[in-house]
Structure formats: structure tokens, C-alpha cells
Structure 1
């Protein structure tokens, strides 16, 4: 293996100078950095990250636990976390909890703690008391919109504001019966209720109906759930002229059900989703959706762990609010004039 000493000899500098360049220290002149980098490239030197982490008493591994890797949102988020961790020379271990409380508690309490330096957890069923009972000392960062009164860093977008943005878009398009797909019978601090709350607040502010006849509950959030919810909604007396779905996969299922009934999107019913998964751009009718800043979510989560590991993040738990935006596509606004045929 090529060593730091080999690079130093080739560049004609000290081993310390090579180490400074490899570790990205700022106090190296551009000329010296270029000289060392040329030697690194010529010799094919690769730093021994395992040895580097072991010298600091770490494993060099972060864990990311999500409810469902088959869900496109979590798959895309995992990719963003892997990219963010790589910038700190960390590897990411992925775990799948299935959204089950026992699995989330197991991960939270330090299962596999011996192979990781910190944990990023996106919980579904975990309760505040589970977090307060945690004894594992590895840094923990929580993801997702469910709110907790616990002393851990939490990264989540503002669900209520995001939902209001989606509904306001539909109102501005002239829609007056806007339904919500994906309500759950659960704590008001969970994401489905936060998005439902935003839906209701925006409709109320506009003086539009927001009764239970426009809400369909589901037990899960997949395409089939969206299709069933949409079909149930269409079987009711008064058809909506727009639908805001809890997430994109439900919205995709809803669009399938609308097509099966011979209804036009957005002519008869406009559809808006949430998450901006890649599939949203490539459905038969591209889907309008709320796009959380997944790269920012990942970066903030990894940076929070790094700060806790180095001691720079000591103090009060961090409550970060990454941005979100509305991405308007054909499922609500139709095909732009002059585009396509």
C-alpha cells in the first residue's frame, strides 16, 4: 500500500504536510497543496479511513433507520444521507424498522451500537417516553415530522405550512371542493394530522368547506391505499374538484383510480402530492407536489451528529426546519400552452 511517507518523498515535503493536505487543513498554500495532490494522484494514494477513525476511538459508521426502504421518499433520503456522510469520510449502515414501535425502540436503545458512532432515526410509532428512557450514549438525531418533547436533535420541515401552500395553490386555480387523502386516527403531533391541519386551516381561511365528507382515512400510505381512498371518495354524493394526498405514492394511486373512472386530470379533478419523489415527474400526468429539501435534511442530520461527536454541538437540542417548495406540474395546472401536442 502507498503510505503518507511515500507521498511525502515523491512531493519532497514532510509527512505532516501531506497529512494536512489529506485532512483538508486550511493552512496550506495553494502551490503546496497542488504539489502534494499531484504526488497523491501519481502514486494512487488512498487514506486508510478505518485506521483514522480507530485512532479517534470511532467506527467510521453512522446508522440510518427508516420505516420502509421500499418507499421512494425514504430511498431518496437514504441516498442523500449517504452523500452527506461521505463528505465526512463516514459510511452509512441502513436499517429498516417497518414502522414498528418494538423495532424503533430496539434501534433507539442501542442495538448495533458497537458498530456505529451515531444514529439518524425516522420514527413512526416511537413515543416520547421511549426516547426519555434511552440509555445508549451514541448521538441521536430524529427525522420526520412527528414532534417529540425529548432532548435530541430533530430535523423536520413545517408540515402545516407546506400543506397550506399546496391547498392555496389549488384554491388559486379556482378549485372549491378540495379533499384530503390519508388521515389517520392517531396523535395530533404526527405528520398526517399536521398536514390535515394545514389543509383545514387554509380552506377555513378561504371560507371553503372542510368537513369530514372531504376526508378519507387510510391505514397505510402506498399506491394501493391512495387508489382505494380515491375510489371511496368518488363513491360519495358530491365529487371533489381537487385532491391533496398525504404523499406522492398515494397521489399516484389516486390518479390511477380517477383514470379508471374516466375522469380527466386536472380537468375534472386536480391532484397534489407531497415528497417530490422521482416518480412524480414521470407519471402519465406529471404530479404537482410539495418538495422537501431532502439534501438539506440529510446535511443537517449528518452535521448534527458530527457536532455531537466532536463536542461542538453540546448544549440544547437542535430544532432545524429545512425548506420546502411547491413544484407545479400538469396534475394541477395542466399542460402549458405551446408545450407538446
Structure 2
């Protein structure tokens, strides 16, 4: 005889409480038309027997898995790792599990996520696209709920969460201009091509110069192969050897900025004395670099919460209006690389741990 006690079923709870299985189901699903006496009896039976709702079975009966997919380019880029952690926490709070898919910014891998490569396991996809073409979104299967992060490639029919990159870069450049910087190089920028994050942030930088009555120098926009520390170091080393030398670097993510700091140190240049540096993303490392990094901080918690919310709303109501947009907040966090205060001394930062 099996010594392991069988898991109690609704039928067992019903017998214990002296009611029908349907009444037990009504109590579990919190239906209103159940008397207080009956509800109490069922709840007492559930507690006495140790009954647990079979969430997986319920979801399968509803044609859902209780899982969502998060597809991001690179998990070793801190912004995406930090965002993934927040998405997982928010999904867990909403009773869902997150599958992580790394696309490596390869179009075929992004397409696989967009078209539900694991649709049998996932109710919907949160995707951060870097390589998709506008036609990829236009021809996607609309039955699979999708929320895009970052930029939405020219398609208004897919839900989207991001920040205002033009405004954010304009504010970061305005901060440098207010400090008297005039020859500002943009690491990771783009002056041509489609309206990706690099182009939008470059446009914002240019708008700040225009507003200040200053010329835009396209030669100071330095393209990079990728957005890693080494790419920032190489780009900074190249641009800082020019004559005249830039007096500030606007780096389009924090990895580029932290790599740039290393090159400036190797060149014997001081920050912020000889050159100001600003990054994007406010990753954890930016608070502990030497000097600490001024950066544009998107509200990553809001991005995660909004993305999960939009996706689950779409799962529940596929007929919801298409192409919903949520613009998350951002702020320029001024730290030591542009003359700001140490970590723990500026608003919104936790003090570093004491030794």
C-alpha cells in the first residue's frame, strides 16, 4: 500500500464539508452567491485537509500556461539583467512565471520570439527589439500578445513601453552645456538610418545644441560595434586624440561610459576636470565607479510594471485597442563625472555601506 498520502481533491473537500463539488469550486473562485455559513465550512475543510488549488490545471483549462517570455538582446549587459529581475518580480507578484530568451540582437532570434517560438509554453512575449524590420511587426501573428520595450520599429499596432529618448538626450546635453562644455562627442550615436535608440538620442543631443544656438558637428558622433565596456574604451581613446579635443562625452549607455572612463584615465585626463562624462541607464555599477557616473536614469521599475501589466491585459482581453503606448519617466542623475556629489549625498541615492 502506498505510504504517501494522496493529494486532496475538490471531491474530498466537498465530502468533508458536506457540500457539492460545485459549491467548493464557487468558494475557491470567490463567487458571491455562497452563504457565509457554507463558505466558512468549505474554508475549514480546505484548511483541515491541506487542499491546494491546482493553478496549472486551471490555467490549462483556460487555454493559458501562466508563463510569459522576456526576450532581450544580452543578459550580460547590466541594464537588461536589472530589467529582467524587475520583470520577474512583477510577473511573480501577478502569479506568472517568466521564461528568458536571449536574442543577441540577431533578427532571426527576435523573429522567433515575435512569432511565438515557444507559444505552447508562453501566454505572451515582452520583447526588446534591435534588429527587427518594420515589416516584421506588420506581418506578425496578432493572436500572440506582444509588448515591445525600447523602440517600436514603425508599427503602431503593437503595445509598447519606453522612455522619451529624444527628450532624455536633450536634457543630458543641456546639463553639459550648462557646465560650459561646448565640444561634446556622442559615443554610440548615429546621424543616419532608421529611428532606433542611437538615432533618437543623437537627435535629442542635436536639439539641445540647436536650442543653445550652437552648431552640430557630425564628426563628433562616434559609431560603435556594440555597447560594451571595450567599445566605449576604444571610442573614447580614438576621439580624445583628436585636435581640438572634446571636453565632454555623451555615452549612449553606461557600459560605454564606464569603458570611456578607463581610457580617459589611461590618457592621463581628469574627470570632470579635463572632460565630463554622461551615460544612460543608471546601472548599479554607475554608482560605484571612480568617479561616480552622471547618467540618465529610466524608471526601470515602472517599465517592468507597465510591460507586464500591458501584456497580461492583452492576454485577458485580446480585443483591447491596438498599439497602446506607455512612456516611462526618466531623470538625469548628476554625479561626480559632471561635478556632482558623491553617492549617498544626492537625492534618491542610498548611502554606500559602512566599512
TM tier relative to shorter chain = 0.7 to 0.9
The alpha-carbon distance between structure 1 residues 334 and 297, as it changes in their structure 2 partners (threshold 3 A), is: closer
Match of 2:222 among 211, 216, 225: 216
The alpha-carbon distance between structure 1 residues 186 and 201, as it changes in their structure 2 partners (threshold 3 A), is: closer
Name the SS for the 1:93 alignment partner. Answer: strand
CA distance in 2 between counterparts of 1:212 and 1:77 reads: 32
User: Does 2:322 match 1:281?
Assistant: no
Corresponding position of 1:248? 254
Match of 1:100 among 106, 121, 127: 106
Corresponding position of 1:131? 137
Q: Indicate conservation of the 8 Å contact 1:218/1:229, yes or no.
A: yes
User: Does 2:323 match 1:314?
Assistant: no
- Measured after TM superposition, the shift of residue 19 of structure 1 is 2.1
Q: Structure 1-normalised TM-score? A: 0.87
CA distance in 2 between counterparts of 1:324 and 1:149 reads: 24
Q: Deviations over 1:68-95 (max 9, x none)?
A: 1111111111111111211221111110
Corresponding position of 1:294? 300
Q: Deviations over 1:99-137 (max 9, x none)?
A: 011111122122111111111111101011111222362
CA distance in 2 between counterparts of 1:210 and 1:35 reads: 75
CA distance in 2 between counterparts of 1:34 and 1:75 reads: 45
Unaligned runs of 5+ in 1: none
CA distance in 1 between counterparts of 2:91 and 2:228 reads: 29
CA distance in 2 between counterparts of 1:11 and 1:330 reads: 67
Q: Indicate conservation of the 8 Å contact 1:245/1:274, yes or no.
A: yes
Name the SS for the 1:291 alignment partner. Answer: strand
The alpha-carbon distance between structure 1 residues 40 and 220, as it changes in their structure 2 partners (threshold 3 A), is: farther
Q: Cα RMSD over matched residues?
A: 3.3
Corresponding position of 1:119? 125
Q: Indicate conservation of the 8 Å contact 1:67/1:124, yes or no.
A: yes
CA distance in 2 between counterparts of 1:3 and 1:222 reads: 53
Aligned pairs, number: 335
**Higher mean Cα deviation, 132-141 or 53-62?**
132-141
Q: Indicate conservation of the 8 Å contact 2:253/2:280, yes or no.
A: yes
Unaligned runs of 5+ in 2: 1-6, 346-351
Corresponding position of 2:169? 163
Match of 2:268 among 262, 265, 288: 262
Q: Indicate conservation of the 8 Å contact 1:145/1:159, yes or no.
A: no
Q: Indicate conservation of the 8 Å contact 1:80/1:298, yes or no.
A: yes
Corresponding position of 1:329? 335
Match of 1:19 among 25, 28, 47: 28
CA distance in 1 between counterparts of 2:143 and 2:329 reads: 30
Q: Deviations over 1:146-171 (max 9, x none)?
A: 44224111111110000011111112
Name the SS for the 2:68 alignment partner. Answer: strand
The alpha-carbon distance between structure 1 residues 11 and 278, as it changes in their structure 2 partners (threshold 3 A), is: farther
Structure with max Cα Rg? 2
Corresponding position of 1:231? 237
